[in-house]
Amino acid sequence: NAGVTQTPKFQVLKTGQSMTLQCAQDMNHEYMSWYRQDPGMGLRLIHYSVGAGITDQGEVPNGYNVSRSTTEDFPLRLLSAAPSQTSVYFCASSAQAGGPNEQFFGPGTRLTVL
Amino acid sequence: GEDVEQSLFLSVREGDSSVINCTYTDSSSTYLYWYKQEPGAGLQLLTYIFSNMDMKQDQRLTVLLNKKDKHLSLRIADTQTGDSAIYFCAESPLAGYNKLIFGAGTRLAVHP
């Protein structure tokens, strides 16, 4: 059981380039989400999905796209990278809609946009 | 609106107790959480408390909830160097059950 995996661990982009951050989980969780972590600001929700084929915006969605074609995968796409998107990105998943919401986090992707 | 605030830094001596404080604004929150982040890693759930409870104890961890003041605290007894990490307080508002609203995190430094 690998839990939540993210690739790549590190990435450097130039302004205007596009890329996809990969996230996968093998726990059969319905709920998946993407956060960004910036110094002194905690984690902010970018996009989330409550199941395959269903996605919605979080707190800071601009500049990012997501899709959820399978239960396991939830990629995050940056269409035209900007320096303001320099951050650490975390993917998370959780199982159920009732009871405590334990979210399982991946190890993160550190992205630098020059 | 939803907001979670916590102090950014705490330094304690090994063996002492640590108390990390958090305030939140959404009175409809059903659960409140403490997550731990070690260097270079993702967040890991430490403990949580249901909003109708005042206290929860789990080995060296004690969570206190003052719902009237919207204040949450995490006490770590007999703090060890392995407890050095960033601790995040989070709430899950009733309106967005699976969403978590995080504080900025408190960096705990444990020194000999």
The pLDDT tens digits of the residues spanning B81-94 come to 999 999 999 988 76
Phi/psi for B94 (5° steps) reads -60, -35
Range scoring the smallest mean pLDDT among B6-15, B21-30, B71-80: B21-30
The stretch B51-70 carries a mean pLDDT of: 93
Q: Does B102 touch chain A (CB under 8 A)?
A: yes
Residue A25 Cα, gap to closest chain B Cα (Å): 14
Subunit contact A94:B40, Cβ cutoff 8 A: no
Q: What is the pLDDT of residue B58?
A: 92
Question: Which is more confident, A73 or B53?
Answer: A73
Q: Which of A40, A97, A101 sits opposite B100 (nearest CB)?
A: A101
CA atoms within 13 A on the CB side of A88: 18
Q: What are the tens digits of pLDDT across the range A66-87?
A: 999 999 999 999 999 999 999 9
The stretch B52-81 carries a mean pLDDT of: 95
Q: What is the pLDDT of residue B77?
A: 97
Q: What is the pLDDT of residue B27?
A: 75
The stretch B95-110 carries a mean pLDDT of: 83
What is the average pLDDT score of chain B?
90
Answer yes or no: is pLDDT of B51 > 80.
Answer: yes
pLDDT interval class at B97 (50, 70, 90):
low
Answer yes or no: is pLDDT of B1 > 80.
Answer: no
Range scoring the smallest mean pLDDT among A60-64, B27-31, B50-54: B27-31
Q: What is the pLDDT of residue B23?
A: 95
DSSP string for residues in A17-70 = --EEEEEEESS--SEEEEEEE-TTS-EEEEEEEEETTEEEE-SS-TTEEE--SS
**Which residues of chain A carry a pLDDT beneath 50?**
none
Residue A7 Cα, gap to closest chain B Cα (Å): 13
**Residue B74 contacts residue B86 (beta carbons within 8 Å):** no
Using DSSP's 3-state secondary structure scheme, residue A84 falls into: helix
Residue B50 Cα, gap to closest chain A Cα (Å): 8
Q: Which two tokens stand for residue A50?
A: 């409550």
Q: What is the pLDDT of residue A84?
A: 96
pLDDT interval class at B74 (50, 70, 90):
very high
Q: How far apart are CA B55 and CA B64, in angstroms?
A: 5
Q: Which of B42, B43, B99 sits opposite A45 (nearest CB)?
A: B99
What letter represents residue A104's amino acid?
Answer: F
**Residue B31 contacts residue B50 (beta carbons within 8 Å):** yes
pLDDT interval class at B40 (50, 70, 90):
confident
Answer yes or no: is pLDDT of B73 > 80.
Answer: yes
Q: What is the pLDDT of residue B2?
A: 61
**Residue A36 contacts residue A111 (beta carbons within 8 Å):** no
